[in-house]
Structure 1
Amino acid sequence: MDFFLEVFAGGLLAGLMYSLIAIGFVLIYKASGVFNFAQGAMVLFAALTFVSLLERGVPFWASFAITLLAMIVLAWGIERVMLRPLVNKPPMTLFMATLGLSYIIEGLAQFLWGAQVHGLELGVSDEPLEFAGLLLSQFDLFAAATAGVLVLLLSLLFNKTRIGISLRAVADDQLAALSVGIRLQKIWMIVWSVAGFVGLVAGLLWGARLGVQFSLSLIVLKALPVLIIGGFTSIGGAIVGGLIIGASEKLAEVYLGPVIGGGIENWFPYVLALLFLLIRPAGIFGERAIERV
């Protein structure tokens, strides 16, 4: 039983790291209805910028601040160059724009910092720690605490501030929001900046776990089942979806892997996502689309 609980708890902690990636998608989707395929590239750009500054002797917090500023400038550029000219365009047009944007951001990162692999050390050990009678990774506990604090801050920002009220108005009806004086461009820039900050935090955690390399941008694929299960419009859904994916894939690998074969951890989340698409296409917390004819 203890082994089961350790695997289950380890999966939950890993799932919170998936949720960090998914939250970036949710923020942008809520504000613009766009599935931002460039989120993975933003994670890579943030992690590569941070570690490159760190290796050049810039102190940790100064590197963090400079990288965050770079992500805000990147958000400003995306809003001015890509989003503003594409207002009221079909969602597929915006999706394809973010797909192209992902390659541009990756190319920019390679141009600025090179393509070599970097190790990233955050000062948190990955050794097991006894917690409530279970052996859990210290790094996973740190990542879970970081994700919890980030979710709390985002919840306060989007539920208790004028920015959050404006964001919900834009998410409900962009034209109605514009008619009452809400500046759509300003909201988009804020949301993309916040998504950049989330990408920075996720990039540091994933970079410390996997190394800072260009395959880091592919973790965007891990967020897809999380979003399908939790819903594309709910931060809480991203957390719940991440927990479900993290726990289920670890349990499947341990208990079904010896029967079915290795590597089940890589594809089992997509099986769950397909089942959810059949049963509840909007996800657990997603908003069902109602069309009136």
Structure 2
Amino acid sequence: MTTTAETLKPLLWESKNLVRAIQAAGVTLWSWNVDTDALAMDDLAYDLWGIPHGIDVTFEDLSDHIHPADRDRVRAAFTATRAIVGAFEIDFRIMIGDELKWISARGQGDDAGMVRRLMFGIFIDVTGRKQAEEGRELLAGEMSHRVKNLLAIASGLTAITSRSTKTTTDMARDLTLRLTALGRAHDLVRPVPAQTRAPSALLGDLLTVLLAPYDDLGAFSGRIRVSVPRMSVGDAATTILALIVHELATNSLKYGALSVDTGTLDVSCSAQDKAVTVVWTENGGPKVTAPVGKGGYGSKLVERSVNGHLQGSIHYNWAETGLVVTLKVSPGRLAI
């Protein structure tokens, strides 16, 4: 017997095959009575929402599981679907204990098309897709931030080099050295697997490489001073510390002590059994004040790196004489 599309097509509508297709797609089913607010769901939908099988639920019951930030939006959307001709779709977050999931609700609107005052639709778990989208947005935002910072750094390094050289030849040579050093520092911020390696696992060497592009090579040599004990830094911590130092140095070059030829920067460190404390102290620059409102992308990136990856803390003291930043990390996290 020859199998053709015409012989296979009727099989698509057999109930057992529809169930197989729905389960394979991760689709869960629901219907909603717009008059009584009662919801009927299949077992997979109960599992998706973290609700015991078989109990009667209403839309209001499901609302208790919707993330508070999305709840009003979802209620308004479902109410509005009664006036929508055709299909609708809305994505929102739900909370199951401490677990967060993204759900996509899809259905058919328009009162005229209802069957006995019922609306029918599906729920799909789209958590993986949303996490991927958030990851791409985060990466795009970080890349944009880095590009803007690099342009600002290049401009600042050009100004520094022009103050410490007398001829265009000297300026070209010193600026090339600075940009080359900046490239090495940037490799530590964005290491390439199997290609980029930290030049040293020592904290002092790491800070020297990162801050070398910002130190004046001529008349103002020595404006950046690093004083840290001999201490090893692990591969993961190297990348995070590089990102933090790179961000602080960039801001100093734009707004702080490194933006003027009279400014100085001291980086010191003390190590105890419970904490490694790194202190970043700026002096001689413009008067500084604490930022108003929420911090920018860079400050959020630093806080997330310190609190999350290093499981430490960072404190900013916006003294008039210059910014003082205190970073505390456990020795164990620093060695990872």
More strand by share: 2
Q: For the pair shown, which has the larger CA radius of gyration, 1 or 2?
A: 2
When normalised by structure 1's length, the TM-score is 0.21
**Structure having the larger proportion of residues in helix:** 1
